[in-house]
Structure 1
Amino acid sequence: MATIYVEAPLPTPSSIAASMASSISSRKPSEIFKAQAQLYNHMYGMLDTMCLKWCIEMNIPNIIHNHGQPISLSKLVSTLQVPSTKFGNVQRLMHYLAHIGFFEIISNQQEEAYALTVVTELLVQGTDLCLSPMVEGYLNPTISGSYNHLKKWIYEEDLTLFDVTLGSDFWKFLNQNPENNRSFNAAMASDSKMINLVLKDYGVVFDGLESVVDVGGGNGTMENLSGDNNLTYVGGDMFTSVPKADAVVLKWILHDWTDEDCIKILEKCKEAITSDEKVGKVILMEIVMNEKKDDHQITQVKMQMDVNMACVNGKERNEEEWKKLFVEAGFKDYKISPLTELLSIIEIYP
């Protein structure tokens, strides 16, 4: 019995479009409108960022902090010295910021007032734990504006996003622009103070170490992690050599680089370790991707940071990806422990 094969015609653009149209038209109206709301939520999501920037530029966290109690809308408007015609606009902005968790609205019989939440407490300038420099640095229009060009970047082989938008890689741009470099260093220093908050509980990580090199340590904020006189911090060029020490610390460094560059850095760190494998080690403070274990919000932030790192040819890595780097750099073992909501502390043994 003969079998006859009939070749099906390839789909045309019009037939594909018709198929897609029929797919959406077959959805329930409630499903379609829910999708529309989700789409608009992300489309208007940039207002979250811009309202946050407005809040910091207007110094509102400090105004409420210095007021010593929840501040009424009229008192806030008076302090800001904005035109009376903008009273309602300030109220709208504050209401929205309260809705997304930046303020708490305190209602009374006379007039509503606004109190800080733990999020905006982190934006009060002049305190030990202030992340305003981090927010301001990232939302610098020169930097954040680059993300309007993701389409152009994705077609450029081997170029970073900033090569495309600023004419050089991010690090060269900072070296050539002192004000942006200052802003970046201030941002990293503010984040390091957050790390110092938890490192005091990880003293065992530094037990037995007489010398530690902080690689890529910016302006040295991490130097106060223990306050002990037996720790000495010195600088080094991580691509050529790292000063000898019992341990080498890299906080949020390797995620900036490709796998090949990370291996080179780790090899230099391994060469620098003077103690035996029972004491000497490399200590990383990095994100470890773990979608199965992390809750949805933490996973989303980690993924956002992974996209951000992709724009400088870096990446956030899961445990298997980290392990591959350690093995290829010649290390024998490693240990991962949770550090903060986002970061883990990774000890790598030669």
Structure 2
Amino acid sequence: MTFTPTSSLTIDGLPKFSSMGYHRLLDRATYTFAELGLADRLVNALPNQGLTAHELISNEEIQWNTDILHRILCACTDVGLVEQVKNTIDDKHFLLTSSGLMLSSDHPSHARDYVRYYLGPMSSNIGYQLIKLVRGQCKGTGFAEASRGLDLYTYLKQQENQDYLRLYNGVMTCLSTYTGDKLVTGVDFGRFETLVDLGGSRGTFLAEILQHYQNIRRGFIFDLSQYIAEVKSADEFESRQITSSRYTFIAGNMTDSSTIPQADAYILKYILHLFNDEICVNLLSSIRKANEQRTDTLLTIFIVEHIIFSDGTVSNWQAHGFDIGMAAYGGARERTEQEYQVLLEKAGFQLKKLYPIQAPDSIIEAIFIK
């Protein structure tokens, strides 16, 4: 008997809600698979033999419940992370699929970081604050409620939360890897000699741009000092054979225009959706102020976000989902093209073009003419 998985987005009635529940349970199996590092344990399994739940644990882990572990592996076959080996005498041997391999700790996609971040207890706890936010019972943001009054960036600065910081940086790399190709080729970045990726983390997106547009003379990865310090190597650039003369990591703060390097163009990828309108205008104005002494007459910025389209386009379900996440995390939001236009004009910029790439992100190009 064959079974075709269904999405709760495409069915109605009780099956819709039943599907939500089943997917939620499989999400928990996926999170457990990632958190326990099971992909790392399965990666060297022999192709025709695989490994059982008993064989996955070490001598120091004899207290592990192998029955539940086996059942998690069975659930992960439905998710597509592992497959059961059919040539063995039982159904207890498992191998990684190509998707399961992505959850190994050293996979360049950083998919394991993404799963541990978004399906983990911190994100779940933040999401549960939505009810209090709607009722006006939160003193601050959902993140503050879940982290004893701290905002995300203060939380990430604390020494005891450095593992969470590494996880966060991994998520940013994962998102850039997922959307990179379509975004890089969807806009002609080769028009510029110098380019700054504001809040660029490990520099994955900028590295993809520099690799594709060889004529860009220099790129700058600009981020808070704790993020730059956490990036211990330039792997994203070296793996693409980009010479060190074409990129620089710079620590600073977007609210302080004196720390922002001057350039022909700036990228704000997943930045503005983190903040309310007032802060967004201040950040955009800070970029403009950083270039007041330049003799060039044209300054360009690119906003890379989940744009909410008015025509109900196919990517809106992702944009609306991210919008709920932003509301819970920091009282921020995803926006429409018109809402971005208002912010840009308040900061002195003119919206030039919307690139509806829907990867699921799209790109807004804006200019400031002196």
Q: What's the TM-score once normalised by structure 2's chain length?
A: 0.70
The aligned counterpart of 1:30 is: none
The aligned counterpart of 2:303 is: 284
In the TM superposition, residue 258 of structure 1 has moved relative to its aligned partner by 0.8
1:64-213 matches, cutoff 5 A:
64-67=42-45, 69=47, 72=50, 74=52, 76-81=53-58, 86-108=65-87, 110-112=89-91, 113-154=93-134, 155-156=136-137, 159-165=140-146, 166-175=148-157, 177-192=158-173, 195=176, 197-198=180-181, 201-202=184-185, 205-213=188-196
SS of residue matched to 1:243: coil
In the TM superposition, residue 83 of structure 1 has moved relative to its aligned partner by 6.2
**Compared CA separation, residues 191 and 170, structure 1 to 2 (3 A):** closer
The CA deviation string for residues 131-181 of structure 1, in whole angstroms up to 9 with x for no partner, is: 212322344534532333332233236721123332232222222x32424
Alignment match of 1:60 (pick from 38, 45, 55) = 38
Aligned amino acid, residue 35 of structure 2: E
Superposition RMSD in Å: 3.4
In the TM superposition, residue 299 of structure 1 has moved relative to its aligned partner by 3.9
Confirm or deny: 8 A CA contact 2:48 2:87 kept in the other structure: no
In the TM superposition, residue 115 of structure 1 has moved relative to its aligned partner by 4.1
How far, CA to CA, are the matches of 2:55 and 2:249 in structure 1? Answer: 48
The aligned counterpart of 1:218 is: 201
Aligned amino acid, residue 309 of structure 1: M
**Compared CA separation, residues 185 and 269, structure 1 to 2 (3 A):** farther
**Compared CA separation, residues 210 and 308, structure 1 to 2 (3 A):** same
Confirm or deny: 8 A CA contact 1:216 1:250 kept in the other structure: yes
**Compared CA separation, residues 79 and 118, structure 1 to 2 (3 A):** closer
Structure with the greater relative contact order (CA < 8 A, sep ≥ 6): 1 or 2?
A: 2
The CA deviation string for residues 58-88 of structure 1, in whole angstroms up to 9 with x for no partner, is: 32222332225366453x4312257699554
Structure 2: where are the runs of 5+ without partners? 1-11, 211-241
How far, CA to CA, are the matches of 2:289 and 2:64 in structure 1? Answer: 65
The CA deviation string for residues 11-52 of structure 1, in whole angstroms up to 9 with x for no partner, is: xxxxxxxxxxxxxxxxxxxxxxx8445434434544233212
How far, CA to CA, are the matches of 2:49 and 2:98 in structure 1? Answer: 16
The CA deviation string for residues 169-225 of structure 1, in whole angstroms up to 9 with x for no partner, is: 2222222x3242442344334532652552895396332433333322335555534
SS of residue matched to 1:92: helix
How far, CA to CA, are the matches of 2:98 and 2:344 in structure 1? Answer: 37
1:292-311 matches, cutoff 5 A:
292=311, 294-295=313-314, 298-311=315-328
**Compared CA separation, residues 85 and 219, structure 1 to 2 (3 A):** closer
In the TM superposition, residue 316 of structure 1 has moved relative to its aligned partner by 1.3
**2:237 pairs with 1:259:** no
The aligned counterpart of 2:214 is: none
SS of residue matched to 2:197: strand
How far, CA to CA, are the matches of 1:69 and 1:190 in structure 2? Answer: 30
Confirm or deny: 8 A CA contact 1:214 1:250 kept in the other structure: yes
SS of residue matched to 1:212: strand
Q: What's the TM-score once normalised by structure 1's chain length?
A: 0.74
More deviation in 128-137 or 252-261?
128-137
Aligned amino acid, residue 364 of structure 2: I
Aligned amino acid, residue 239 of structure 1: T
How far, CA to CA, are the matches of 1:286 and 1:259 in structure 2? Answer: 15
SS of residue matched to 2:99: helix
**2:271 pairs with 1:268:** no
**Corresponding pairs, count:** 312
More deviation in 318-327 or 98-107?
98-107
